[in-house]
Every structure is written in structure tokens, then in C-alpha cells.
Structure 1
Amino acid sequence: MKKINWRVRFKNRAWVVAMIAALFFIAQSVLIVFGISWDYTTLFNQIVVVVGAVFALVGLVIDPTTAGTPDSERAMRYEEPRKDEE
């Protein structure tokens, strides 16, 4: 375990998703051993709602006038919203 670069692993989205799925399967298997039935349908539905809310929030934060998520250097220098010249 010491010879694994965990920081790099956690930066890989596919690995993170696979790890989360594996942890759910392990948790479900352990609970079955102890005779506990876990229906995670409700949990899955709640996670979908949270992910949708996060996407909505990111959509509000992103400046549609620039490419990518960060603001342009010019926009970073603004002290208040720029007003169009008429």
C-alpha cells in the first residue's frame, strides 16, 4: 500500500467511480453476512438528485462568455459587473 500513488489515483475519474462501486459491493456483501438486507435504491435516487443539483450549481458558476470554467484574466480584474457602453 505504501508504493501506490493515491493522489494520482484519485485524480483519475474512472478509477474513483470503480472504487466507489467496489466499496458499495463490499458493504452490501458484509451486510448480507450479518443478515442485513440493504436496498440502496433510495440512496441511489438521492445521489442522482444531488449530482443533478451539483451540475445545476456548476452551470450557474460558469461564465458563458469564456471557454472552460475559469473566468478570463480581464474578468478577474473587475471589481463589479461590467456595464455595456451604450
Structure 2
Amino acid sequence: MKINWKVRMKNWRTVVATLITVLGVAWTAGGFTISDLDNWYVLWLSFVRFLNSPMAIITTIVAVVGILMDPTTSKFSDSLKVMNYSEPRKDDK
């Protein structure tokens, strides 16, 4: 699987979508509540609860793969054209 990670991470939309997905699944699966943010120990216990849930980890991985996959290619890898980019392409209309 060849992915041009530098270009992907320079695209703020990809970074935001990935963070929202990971945090959203972790928040739900870990049983976080707003009051957990007041206590580092309780927040840590909720995070450990998330890590102990295989379904939560699998869901997170599948969601992140879905965000990072290039739907314009038939495989998981980026196209040769994209592999040569140094910046995300700007589509001027």
C-alpha cells in the first residue's frame, strides 16, 4: 500500500475528518462523559476501556481506512500521479 502521506497530512480536511472519527469512536466506546474531562485518572480509565474493546478498535481502523482511501483508484494505493505531488492539488474553478 503506497500512500503519499506528506500530501495527505497537508490537507486539513483529511486531518480533521480523521481526528473527528477517531475521537468520536473512542468517546462513544470508552463511555466518556463530560465530567471525565475534570479528572485525568477517570479520563485515563475511560481510554483504557476503549482500548479493551476490540470492536471499537476495529471500527476506528475501518473508519480511518475509509477516510484515507483514494476512491479514484482500484486499490488501496495512491495513483502514480498522486505519488509525485508535493502539495495537495488545488482545483481552480
- TM above 0.5, yes or no, is no
Higher relative contact order (CA 8 A, sep 6+): 2
TM-score by length of 1: 0.44
Determine which structure has the larger helix proportion and give its number: 2
TM-score by length of 2: 0.41
